[in-house]
Amino acid sequence: MPDSKHLSATPRVALIGFGEAGMTFARAGGWTGRASGWDIAPERRALMGGCGVEAGDDAAAALADADIVLCLVTADSALPAAQDYAALLPPGALWCDMNSVAPGTKREAAAAIEAAGGRYVDVAVMAPVDPVALGVPLLIAGPHARDAQQALAALGFAKSRVVGDEVGRASAIKMIRSVMVKGLEALSSECAAAADAAGVFDEVMASLDASEKTIPWAERIAYNRERMATHGLRRAAEMEESAKTLLGLGVEPVMTRGTVLLQRQAAGGNRERN
């Protein structure tokens, strides 16, 4: 069984899901010869070779020799991926669930992985992966967090912190933080839309700037709008998980539900996969 004593200095890594995060990590990692991958989309699998990742003919082939798995799918696919692929893992392989989902979702995924003989790890990615790549801050939780931290460091991840031995703790930090981060994006976009409609955008921005001088509000809103248009579908899925997190804590997610709606609307016809 692979564990902290038996994991190689350069562990074999499998990537499940090959969107923006998977591609960014693989390009930065230089994992050629020790990385395999699987994505349900053929066009994503076709990109793997150029990033030093051997595309599996199926999920079983991609996972066959893995010491550590980076699960980087969409939020709504995180639990099905764990349930569908758990039986394909080598005994003792680390399954690092890096998806933005609720703590309860991660605990369900952990049950599937552990029942099949794998070792589940709750990992929260705490910032955009582009452009920092392997320098992105990671929070790690669960009974195998220390082993995962060691393996991730061997892969080149430079900023990780273990936050506890309970699966769901890292996710709780991420999901609750997202209420503020993504909520501010949605609120700023709504404010700007109203200011545009009233023909008072510049005046409103100047008024906001007068009370806060860090980044001019027009620049901040332009940035927020770009992020929502580009990543709104993924962010909406993440915020649905944040809403579940709040409900699980007995907090009614009124503003969070609104953020889901606005993030999804901002994405419009965009269809991203990550």
CATH number at residue 261: 1.10.1040.10
Q: Number of folded domains in the chain? A: 2
Task: With respect to residue 5, please indicate whether it lies within any of the assigned structural domains.
Answer: no
Q: Which residue blocks in 57-136 are alpha helix, DSSP H? A: 59-63, 78-85, 103-115
Residues 234/272, Cβ–Cβ less than 8 Å: yes
Q: Say yes or no: 28 and 55 in one domain.
A: yes
pLDDT of residue 220: 87
Query: Is pLDDT of 2 > 70?
Result: no
| Mean per-residue pLDDT, 35-44 | 97
Q: Say yes or no: 25 and 150 in one domain.
A: yes
Domain that holds residue 243: 172-267
Q: Say yes or no: 160 and 177 in one domain.
A: no
Report the mean per-residue pLDDT for the chain.
92
Q: Give ∠ CA 106-148-69 in degrees, rounded to 5.
A: 65
Q: Say yes or no: 144 and 218 in one domain.
A: no
| Mean per-residue pLDDT, 119-148 | 97
Predicted TM-score (pTM) of the model is 0.84
**In CATH, what number is assigned to the domain containing residue 100?**
3.40.50.720
Backbone dihedral region for residue 17 (phi beyond 0: left; psi -120 to 50: alpha; all else: beta):
left
pLDDT of residue 269: 52
Distances (CA, A) of 69 to 17, 39, 92, 271: 10, 13, 11, 25
Q: Helices 78-85 and 103-115 meet at what angle, rounded to 10?
A: 10
Residues 100/136, Cβ–Cβ less than 8 Å: no
